[in-house]
């Protein structure tokens, strides 16, 4: 008999005993989306014809990068031992920047499929999410994927997983999302081992928001997991954090296309549409209740999104500023964690200081701005948040190095992280050297199996945000993986290094760095700028300074020749055209005092070396 | 070959629009004749030239005949465009190598120009010459026909440098050619090129000294421009040769100024020095003063009445058009007033007398700040500014393009 269910359980009337809510925890390229696609096909909710690869990842960027940014939930019917079940697969973001979103997705589940590439083994980010799943008391189903690959080593990694989460290596399922092998067994196993949801059907309604997506046609689509009670169509609902009341215009489940239902009952997962246009009105982690018979106690675990990394984002063409503002306003509708405010820079003109959850978030947002709104942008080096206390006890929060206070400073606190690095053991030396160079303090080191090592370091977030991951990858030939979690604040011996061109400070290049690294930063920037800024008709000193103290200097020698030797008949038109072009080019020049700096020089100076290398390869 | 600028298609009748023609009123009229043939192509050269291997020698034989027809055609165009008739003030034969043609061909062309337009008195008639291709007899014929001046492509006195440039002439022939020209009564000039790959400051000093020792009336010195598409550009790209840096170019230019002025020459344009005002190149001055000239021959550029146009490059295509009584012009540009003014700044800034500051201000150029910066940076002569002229200092000559940008922005 085919396990594919011939009937479905009706949403809003489903007995929680026959509901299973689960998610899949996996590293970026370990095949989560392919496995999810296979499940959609196998359970019959998507037919082979309308199947497109990685069905659940809607955004282009997601599909290209093979990562999931926004989670969604899919309800799938599945029959096991003559009983039809409703399986809710809740897709989770896979990246450390989205830890909070991950934690809310996990809170909507009773079980998690721990999916690991059978050729690569577990990675640090997976460990981080696994940890969150275990903290949420989820039942873990270990699964090795891609067993069809010739390089697969299922025995080795089954052993590793067993070491990690307990149990026997034999309990580890082996599947191939690509060929479909083992996927039906996995669905059966989910029904067998994941506990059914438990809730009070008669209590006031409480539903937890685990995702909130902006759709340009329908407004905000809110994904919820019903905990207690029920919600039904056309009811008035209340968001418990803001007490805002909305009309429930539509309620339903995704399967995976939206299907309107009469309502949602205990343990069910579905979506709500209220007509609001801004995801900030429907916050991840918030509790939804009915306006008429409100719950008194919100569900636990809600917190406001908190930016970790700031960067100035500027349009390369200053006249694009209004478009950038509009674009940010639009993106904000679908991304509650994006914060920004207007900022001006001497070097870069008008832009916005934006706060991001982390580096990937920064990259995704700038890429979406460029792609979806056709903007050319430049982002300043990412900065963390510093809590500065002055001698007069005044406290200042600094998100932009150029705003670092100039007065006497008694104390600077900087955000710390606990970084987890997983790597083959051959690279331990290189990793330790890198982490120590970044002010890391080792917490512990642990072997997984025979050749893989987990290193944990406490280090300042600022040391990670710039190019740490690039260096880690290059020192380990791409084998190491990195995860980090916030770990409070710590006092740091920090200084602000300014870069001056002909005595004029260039705000975009100011950086807050550890005292021991100030010199290196100064030398790096002054050298870089010497190469990037074209010679002017006068000598241009480039200095790095801490306050009034110069710590590094370079100079651009004066240009001595700028003349076309021959200027006869045919040269005249050519030369005039050249003049016109130079005039055009001047519009892209920024003046720092008397020094003309091409926009490209700013961009190049703000781009890390490893990025440049990558770009060259692509040329 | 140099990239032509992008223009609009030139009309088949070659007529110049009336609104442009008006601007010819107070301008003198000049003729340039482009002879597109060379014995061998030099590695650095991107001019419109052809060796006999490239196109066969046949077209060289009919070249003068075709050119005479363009002269007739030009007279018709000027008349029909209602441009006031003017006698020629200078004639210049350039190339390529004009002296590859029999002297009789050059003379026939010159005679035709004279018969068509008439010559102003004190007319300057120059031909460029390759030192290998002229002798006293040849030069004597030119002199008799009315030529007044010969400009010899010397380039360098150092065999190593000539080899890099792929100049095939025998350096000893330069002084023979100059002596021959002088003995028949022609004024003389030599062209030099500096900043070639492998060339040292001492090499350059040697070339300058050799040029000075020739006792010519005029010397042009050009820094080597590596043009795209030339053999030299490929050699540099592939790393076989290294291009000297701009500081070396600047050092060489300063050395030229120092040695030439010590030898009695005065710089009167960025790249040109003469013994006196009389021995300047009157024809080139016409370019820098935005005068009218008709450029005859394949690839030649013309500027008449605010219109610039350029002929088709290929000699065969040129000949076909002329024989079909179709204008040989490929494309043209109508220069509007703003661009005409910009060109004037661009060109007149380069000459020793400089450019009138009052005029600049009238046209909205030369902001007070720009002029004061130019003085502060010692790019223009402060005393001349107070007299009402922008004239370049030595430092300013080396940065002339920058000065122009500052004046017009």
Spell out the SS3 assignment of A374-404: CCCEEECCCECCEEEEECCCCEEEECCHHHC
Is the model's pLDDT at B243 over the cut of 90?
no
Out of A566, A582, A594, closest to residue B405 by CB: A582
Work out the average pLDDT over A101-114. 90
In a domain, B295, yes or no: no
* Residues B245, B107 share a domain: yes
Residue of A nearest to B299 (CA): A570
Q: How far is A559 from chain B (nearest CA, A)?
A: 8
Residues of A with Cβ-Cβ distance to B365 under 8 angstroms: none
Among residues 384-403 of chain B, which lie with CB inside 8 Å of chain A? 397-402
Q: How far is B287 from chain A (nearest CA, A)?
A: 6
Q: At A56, is the secondary structure helix, strand, or coil? A: coil
- Look at residue A2 in the predicted model and tell me its pLDDT: 52
In a domain, B326, yes or no: no
Chain A contact for B343 (CB, 8 A cutoff) = yes
Q: How far is B173 from chain A (nearest CA, A)?
A: 25
* Residues B207, B136 share a domain: yes
| CATH code assigned at B175 | 3.80.30.20
* Residues B343, B284 share a domain: no
Residues of A with Cβ-Cβ distance to B339 under 8 angstroms: 576
Contacts of B52 (CB under 8 A, 6+ apart): B37, B39, B60
Positive or negative CA dihedral for A455, A459, A465, A470?
A: negative
Work out the average pLDDT over A485-509. 91
For the whole model, what pTM was predicted?
0.68
Picking from A123, A116, A118, the residue whose alpha carbon sits closest to that of residue A151 is A118
* Residues B383, B271 share a domain: no
Range of the domain at B45: 8-288
Q: How far is B280 from chain A (nearest CA, A)?
A: 15
The number of angstroms, rounded, from the C-alpha of A412 to the middle of its chain's C-alpha atoms is: 27
- Domain-ending residue, one of B254, B288, B322: B288
- Domain-ending residue, one of B253, B272, B288: B288
Distance CA B4, CA A216 (A): 51
Work out the average pLDDT over A285-301. 91
Among residues 74-113 of chain B, which lie with CB inside 8 Å of chain A? none
Q: How confident is the model at residue A133 (pLDDT cuts 50, 70, 90)?
A: confident
- CB-based contact A537 B399, cutoff 8 Å: yes
- CB-based contact B404 A564, cutoff 8 Å: no
Residues of A with Cβ-Cβ distance to B400 under 8 angstroms: 562-563
In a domain, B331, yes or no: no
* Residues B176, B60 share a domain: yes
Picking from B62, B56, B133, B68, the residue whose alpha carbon sits closest to that of residue B95 is B133
In a domain, B267, yes or no: yes
Q: How far is CA A319 from CA A323, A341, B352, in A?
A: 8, 18, 42
Q: How confident is the model at residue B26 (pLDDT cuts 50, 70, 90)?
A: confident
Number of domains in chain B: 2
- Look at residue B39 in the predicted model and tell me its pLDDT: 86
- Dmax over Cα atoms in chain A, in whole Å? 94
Q: Choose, out of A502, A540, A564, A565, the residue to mutate when testing the contact with B (most B CBs < 10 Å).
A: A565
Q: How far is CA A257 from CA A40, A46, A233, A252, B175, in A?
A: 11, 9, 18, 10, 91
In a domain, B322, yes or no: no
* Residues B174, B78 share a domain: yes
Among residues 232-261 of chain B, which lie with CB inside 8 Å of chain A? 246-247, 249-250, 253
* Residues B384, B270 share a domain: no
Radius of gyration (C-alpha) of chain A in whole angstroms: 28
Distance CA A76, CA A40 (A): 7
Work out the average pLDDT over B23-45. 89
For the segment A175-186, what is each residue's pLDDT rounded down to a tens digit? 999 999 999 999
Work out the average pLDDT over B146-170. 94
Is the model's pLDDT at A603 over the cut of 80?
no
* Residues B262, B342 share a domain: no
Is the model's pLDDT at A610 over the cut of 50?
no
Residue of A nearest to B351 (CA): A567
- Look at residue A50 in the predicted model and tell me its pLDDT: 61
Residues of B with Cβ-Cβ distance to A579 under 8 angstroms: 342, 346, 404-405, 408
Range A165-170 contact pairs with CB under 8 angstroms and sequence separation of 24 or more: A165/A114, A165/A130, A165/A134, A165/A140, A167/A142
In this structure, what DSSP letter does residue A47 have? -
Among residues 306-335 of chain B, which lie with CB inside 8 Å of chain A? 308, 310, 333
Q: How confident is the model at residue A608 (pLDDT cuts 50, 70, 90)?
A: low
Chain B contact for A591 (CB, 8 A cutoff) = no
Q: Which tokens belong to B174?
A: 């330069």
- CB-based contact B377 A538, cutoff 8 Å: yes
* Residues B258, B117 share a domain: yes
Q: How far is CA A612 from CA A375, A466, A533, B209, in A?
A: 20, 14, 17, 49
Q: Which of A234-248, B4-18, B140-154 has the lowest mean pLDDT?
A: B4-18
What is the average pLDDT value for chain A, to the nearest integer? 86
Residue of B nearest to A576 (CA): B343
In a domain, B3, yes or no: no
For the segment A350-394, what is each residue's pLDDT rounded down to a tens digit? 999 999 888 778 888 888 899 889 998 888 888 899 999 998 889
Is the model's pLDDT at B380 over the cut of 90?
yes
- Look at residue A60 in the predicted model and tell me its pLDDT: 53
Q: How far is CA B30 from CA A178, B25, B109, B302, in A?
A: 80, 14, 14, 10
Q: How confident is the model at residue A614 (pLDDT cuts 50, 70, 90)?
A: very low
Chain B contact for A163 (CB, 8 A cutoff) = no
∠ CA A8-A14-A20, nearest 5°, is 85
Cβ-contact B271, B221 below 8 angstroms: yes
Q: Choose, out of B151, B249, B251, B301, the residue to mutate when testing the contact with A (most A CBs < 10 Å).
A: B301
Distance CA B93, CA B106 (A): 8
- CB-based contact B300 A583, cutoff 8 Å: no
Q: How far is CA A230 from CA A86, A199, A222, A370, B137, in A?
A: 17, 10, 16, 42, 114
The residue behind tokens 């990037």 is: A532
In a domain, B166, yes or no: yes
Distance CA A122, CA A497 (A): 40
Q: How confident is the model at residue A70 (pLDDT cuts 50, 70, 90)?
A: very low
Work out the average pLDDT over A97-124. 87
Chain B contact for A572 (CB, 8 A cutoff) = yes
- Domain-ending residue, one of B288, B311, B326: B288
Work out the average pLDDT over A216-225. 87
For the segment B311-329, what is each residue's pLDDT rounded down to a tens digit? 999 999 999 999 999 999 9
- CB-based contact B253 A561, cutoff 8 Å: yes
* Residues B250, B126 share a domain: yes
- Look at residue B57 in the predicted model and tell me its pLDDT: 58
- CB-based contact B398 A561, cutoff 8 Å: yes
Q: At B180, is the secondary structure helix, strand, or coil? A: helix
Cβ-contact A285, A230 below 8 angstroms: no
* Residues B405, B271 share a domain: no
Is the model's pLDDT at A57 over the cut of 70?
no
Contacts of B118 (CB under 8 A, 6+ apart): B87, B88
* Residues B126, B223 share a domain: yes
Distance CA A82, CA B80 (A): 101
In this structure, what DSSP letter does residue B388 have? T
Q: How far is A458 from chain B (nearest CA, A)?
A: 50
- Look at residue A65 in the predicted model and tell me its pLDDT: 47
Q: How confident is the model at residue A163 (pLDDT cuts 50, 70, 90)?
A: confident
Chain B contact for A563 (CB, 8 A cutoff) = yes
For the segment A536-586, what is each residue's pLDDT rounded down to a tens digit? 989 999 999 998 899 999 999 999 999 888 888 888 888 888 888 888 777
Residues of A with Cβ-Cβ distance to B308 under 8 angstroms: 572-573
In a domain, B307, yes or no: no
CB atoms within 10 A of CB B378: 13
Picking from A205, A192, A217, A194, the residue whose alpha carbon sits closest to that of residue A109 is A194
Q: At A497, is the secondary structure helix, strand, or coil? A: strand
What is the average pLDDT value for chain B, to the nearest integer? 92
**Between residues B58 and A506, which one has the greater pLDDT?**
A506
């Amino acid at each position: 008999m085919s396990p594919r269910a011939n009937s479905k359980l009706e949403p809003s009337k489903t007995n929680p005993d026959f509901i299973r809510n689960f998610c899949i925890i996996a590293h970026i390229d370990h095949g989560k989306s392919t496995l999810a696609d296979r499940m959609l096909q196998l359970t019959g909710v998507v037919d082979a014809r309308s199947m497109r690869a990685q069905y659940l990842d809607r955004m282009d960027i997601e599909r290209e990068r093979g990562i999931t940014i926004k989670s969604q939930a899919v309800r799938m019917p599945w029959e096991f031992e003559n009983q039809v079940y409703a399986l809710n697969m809740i897709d989770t973001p896979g990246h450390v920047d989205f830890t909070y979103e991950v934690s809310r997705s996990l809170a909507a589940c009773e079980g998690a499929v721990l999916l690991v590439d059978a050729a690569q083994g577990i990675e640090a980010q997976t460990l981080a999410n696994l940890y969150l799943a275990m903290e949420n008391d989820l039942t873990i189903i270990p699964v090795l994927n891609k067993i069809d690959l010739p390089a697969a080593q299922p025995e080795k990694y089954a052993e590793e997983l067993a070491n990690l989460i307990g149990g026997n290596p034999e309990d580890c399922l082996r599947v191939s999302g690509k060929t479909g092998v083992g996927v039906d067994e996995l669905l059966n196993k989910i029904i067998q081992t994941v506990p059914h949801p438990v809730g009070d059907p008669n209590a006031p309604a409480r539903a937890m928001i685990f995702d909130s997506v902006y759709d340009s046609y329908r407004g905000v689509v809110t994904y919820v997991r019903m905990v207690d009670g029920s919600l039904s169509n056309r009811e008035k609902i209340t968001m418990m954090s803001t007490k805002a009341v909305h009309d429930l215009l539509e309620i339903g489940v995704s399967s995976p296309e939206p299907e309107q239902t009469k309502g949602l009952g205990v343990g069910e997962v579905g979506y709500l549409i209220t007509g609001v246009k801004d995801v900030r009105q429907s916050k991840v982690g918030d509790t939804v209740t009915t306006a008429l018979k409100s719950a008194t106690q919100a569900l636990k675990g809600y917190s406001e999104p908190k930016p970790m990394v700031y960067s100035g984002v500027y349009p390369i063409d200053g006249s694009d500023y209004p478009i950038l503002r509009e674009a940010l306003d639009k993106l904000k509708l679908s991304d509650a964690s994006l914060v920004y405010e207007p900022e001006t820079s001497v070097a870069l003109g008008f832009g916005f200081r934006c706060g991001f959850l982390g580096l990937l978030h920064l990259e995704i947002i700038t890429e979406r701005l460029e792609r979806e709104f056709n903007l050319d942008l430049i982002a300043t080096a990412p900065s963390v948040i510093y809590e500065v206390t002055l001698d007069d006890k005044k406290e200042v929060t600094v998100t932009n190095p150029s705003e670092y206070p100039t007065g006497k400073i008694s104390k600077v606190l900087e955000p710390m992280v606990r970084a987890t690095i997983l790597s083959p053991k051959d690279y331990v030396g290189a990793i330790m050297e890198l982490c120590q160079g970044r002010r890391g303090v080792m917490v512990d080191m642990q072997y997984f199996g025979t050749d893989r090592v987990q290193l944990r370091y406490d280090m300042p977030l600022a040391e990670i945000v710039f190019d740490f991951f690039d260096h880690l990858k290059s020192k380990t030939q791409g084998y190491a993986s990195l995860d980090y979690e916030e770990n409070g604040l710590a006092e740091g011996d920090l200084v602000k290094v300014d870069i001056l061109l002909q005595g004029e400070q260039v705000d975009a290049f100011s950086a807050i760095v550890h005292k021991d690294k100030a010199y290196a930063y100064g030398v790096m920037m002054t050298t870089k700028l010497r190469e990037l800024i074209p010679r002017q008709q006068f000598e241009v000193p480039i200095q790095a300074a801490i306050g009034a103290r110069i710590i590094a200097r370079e100079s651009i020698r004066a240009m001595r020749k700028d003349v076309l030797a021959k200027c006869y008949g045919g040269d005249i038109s050519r030369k005039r055209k050249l003049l016109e072009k130079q005039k055009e080019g001047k519009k892209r020049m920024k003046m720092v005092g008397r020094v003309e700096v091409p926009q490209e020089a700013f961009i190049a100076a703000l781009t890390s070396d490893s990025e440049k290398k990558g770009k060259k390869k692509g040329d | 070959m140099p990239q032509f600028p992008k223009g609009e298609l030139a009309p088949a009748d070659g007529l110049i629009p009336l609104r442009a023609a008006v601007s010819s009123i107070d301008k003198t009229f000049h003729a340039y004749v482009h002879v597109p043939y060379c014995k061998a192509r030099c590695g650095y050269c991107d001019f419109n030239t052809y060796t006999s291997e490239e196109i066969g020698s046949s077209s060289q034989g009919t070249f003068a005949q075709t050119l005479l027809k363009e002269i007739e055609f030009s007279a018709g165009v000027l008349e029909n465009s209602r441009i006031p008739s003017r006698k020629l003030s200078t004639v210049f034969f350039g190339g390529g190598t004009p002296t590859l043609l029999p002297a009789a061909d050059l003379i026939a062309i010159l005679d035709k120009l004279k018969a068509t337009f008439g010559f102003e008195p004190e007319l300057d008639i120059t031909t460029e010459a390759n030192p290998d291709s002229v002798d006293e007899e040849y030069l004597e014929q030119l002199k008799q026909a009315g030529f007044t001046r010969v400009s010899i492509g010397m380039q360098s006195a150092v065999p190593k440098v000539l080899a890099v440039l792929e100049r095939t002439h025998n350096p000893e022939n330069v002084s023979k050619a100059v002596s021959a020209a002088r003995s028949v009564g022609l004024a003389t000039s030599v062209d030099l090129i500096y900043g070639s790959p492998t060339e040292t400051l001492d090499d350059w000093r040697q070339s300058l000294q050799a040029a000075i020792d020739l006792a010519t009336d005029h010397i042009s010195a050009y820094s080597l421009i590596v043009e795209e598409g030339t053999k030299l550009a490929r050699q540099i790209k592939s790393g076989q040769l290294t291009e000297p840096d701009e500081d070396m170019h600047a050092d060489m230019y300063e050395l030229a100024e120092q040695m030439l002025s010590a030898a009695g020459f005065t710089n009167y344009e960025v790249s040109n020095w003469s013994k006196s005002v009389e021995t300047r190149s009157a024809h080139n001055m016409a370019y820098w003063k935005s005068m009218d000239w008709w450029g005859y021959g394949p690839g030649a550029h013309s500027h008449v009445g605010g219109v610039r146009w350029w002929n088709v490059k290929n000699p065969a295509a040129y000949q076909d058009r002329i024989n079909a009584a179709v204008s040989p012009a490929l494309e043209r540009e109508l220069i509007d007033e703003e661009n005409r003014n910009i060109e004037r700044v661009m060109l007149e800034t380069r000459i020793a007398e400089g450019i009138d500051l009052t005029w600049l201000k009238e046209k909205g150029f030369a902001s007070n700040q720009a002029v004061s910066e130019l003085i502060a940076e010692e790019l223009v002569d402060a005393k001349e500014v107070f007299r009402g002229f922008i004239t370049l200092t030595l430092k300013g000559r080396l940065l002339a393009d920058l000065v122009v940008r500052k004046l017009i922005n």
